[in-house]
């Protein structure tokens, strides 16, 4: 390692070198592999021995279980659509499923990182500042929240849009007001709705079939619920909630053997990542827990009515289908766009979870809700912090007057 570090040092562009403008690129590669050789002498407060690159890398490690499961799940539903495996026979043909999933998913990851980091390098070279680490996580999140059948060029266009208009125009990492990965997904959702909300795109290869096998639609669970979002008698005629729950058992939904975005289906994989983030102190348990409680609260309240099938759905089921848990752990906890005050984190998370289920239940045209809820709460986070701080100021002023 010492020899590699010396070699990297020799490659460092000097101010006199014709390659001087590429120093930000060298600095990013060097500080990612080695601890920076400079020491801050004054004007700072040392908080921890881990720097931002290591923090971001730890989040990527937390996302790996979701990526691995998503790869295998992509292959599973492909071979299920072909009729070569059972609906819940997840371990059958494991090798073939993993290989097919890797062929479909890894190119999306490569395009996301290649395009996103390319844009970052261009801006850093142009502005002559150090390359920021924020996209290390966003580059992994973007592939995990899209369907496996999405064209690579759409991933590239969405990534450029998210990095340039979602972050760089605001000043770069730490200055953006909305989550970068969700900005990319929102761009895809509104720009190419059939590739983000169509039935067939959730099972890789199904969209290419002229005739689907009997009983296969390619729709997600939420998509299937949306088709029954009519009069209560129509819902009952189709077999009611019991038919849906028998088709999609709660345990299978918890494990993640369901169609959906690449990394959002397995609650087990998500919870493994959550445990790592909480253990290392990177993730905020206040936001995660309050987000889940907000979703449960609205879920139980909507059961008081029976206008749509969403209202009848068990609130626990709401948590394990769609992207709710992935949003709770990896999206709404983004430290840049989330609330910063301690009390504000509870409010921010609770309202985010409540709004997610509210949109899911009452908006038949958009059966998910998590993406829009988190983006909305990103915008509201500064206001929440403002009122929390003002409340603290008023409370302290009252104590001062009575002292």
Q: Give the domain ranges of the chain.
A: 2-32+52-197, 229-402
Tokens 């984190």 belong to: 345
31-61 pLDDT, tens digit each: 655 555 555 555 544 555 455 667 788 999 9
Closest to 381 (Cα-Cα) out of 191, 189, 200, 178: 178
User: How far apart (Å, rounded) are the C-alpha atoms in residues 369 and 363?
Assistant: 8
Pair 310, 361: CB distance under 8 Å: yes
Token pair of 135 as six digits: 């996209």
| Most trustworthy range by pLDDT among 140-144, 304-308, 316-320 | 140-144
Q: Which pTM was predicted?
A: 0.84
**Which pLDDT band holds residue 294 (cuts at 50, 70, 90)?**
very high
193-227 pLDDT, tens digit each: 888 876 667 777 776 655 555 556 556 777 777 66
Q: Residue 12, Cβ neighbours under 10 Å: how many?
A: 12
**Which pLDDT band holds residue 272 (cuts at 50, 70, 90)?**
very high
């Amino acid at each position: 390692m010492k020899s590699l570090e010396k070699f990297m040092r020799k490659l460092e562009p000097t101010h006199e070198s014709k390659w001087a403008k590429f120093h930000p690129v060298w600095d990013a590669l060097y500080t990612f592999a080695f601890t920076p050789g400079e020491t801050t002498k004054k004007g700072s407060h040392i908080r921890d021995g881990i720097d931002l690159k290591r923090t971001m890398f730890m989040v990527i490690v937390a996302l790996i279980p979701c990526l691995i499961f998503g790869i295998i799940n992509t292959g599973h539903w492909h071979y299920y659509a072909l009729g070569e495996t059972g609906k819940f026979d997840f371990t059958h043909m494991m090798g073939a499923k993993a290989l097919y999933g890797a062929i479909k998913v890894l190119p999306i990851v490569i395009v996301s990182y290649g395009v996103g980091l390319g844009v970052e390098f261009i801006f850093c070279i142009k502005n002559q500042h150090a390359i920021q680490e924020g996209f290390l996580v966003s580059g992994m999140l973007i592939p995990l929240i899209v369907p496996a059948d999405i064209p690579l060029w759409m991933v590239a266009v969405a990534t450029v849009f998210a990095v340039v208009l979602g972050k760089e125009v605001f000043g770069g990492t730490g200055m953006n007001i909305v989550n970068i990965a969700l900005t990319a997904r929102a761009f895809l959702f509104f720009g190419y709705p059939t590739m983000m909300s169509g039935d067939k795109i959730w099972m890789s290869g199904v969209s290419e079939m002229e005739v689907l096998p009997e009983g296969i639609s390619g729709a997600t669970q939420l998509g299937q619920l949306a088709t029954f979002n009519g009069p209560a008698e129509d819902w009952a005629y189709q077999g009611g909630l019991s038919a849906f729950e028998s088709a999609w058992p709660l345990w299978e939904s918890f494990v993640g053997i369901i169609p959906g975005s690449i990394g959002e289906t397995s609650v087990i994989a998500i919870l493994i990542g959550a445990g790592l983030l909480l253990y290392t102190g990177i993730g905020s348990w206040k936001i995660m827990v309050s987000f889940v409680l907000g979703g449960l609260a609205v879920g139980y309240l909507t059961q008081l009515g029976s206008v749509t099938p969403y209202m009848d759905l068990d609130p626990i089921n709401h948590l394990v289908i769609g992207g709710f848990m992935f949003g709770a752990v990896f999206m709404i906890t983004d430290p840049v766009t989330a609330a910063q005050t301690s009390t504000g984190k509870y409010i921010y998370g609770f309202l985010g979870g409540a709004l997610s289920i509210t949109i899911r239940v009452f908006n038949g045209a958009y059966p998910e809700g998590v993406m829009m809820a988190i983006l909305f709460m990103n915008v509201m986070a500064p206001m929440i912090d403002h009122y929390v701080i003002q409340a603290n100021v008023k409370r302290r002023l009252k104590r001062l007057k009575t002292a």
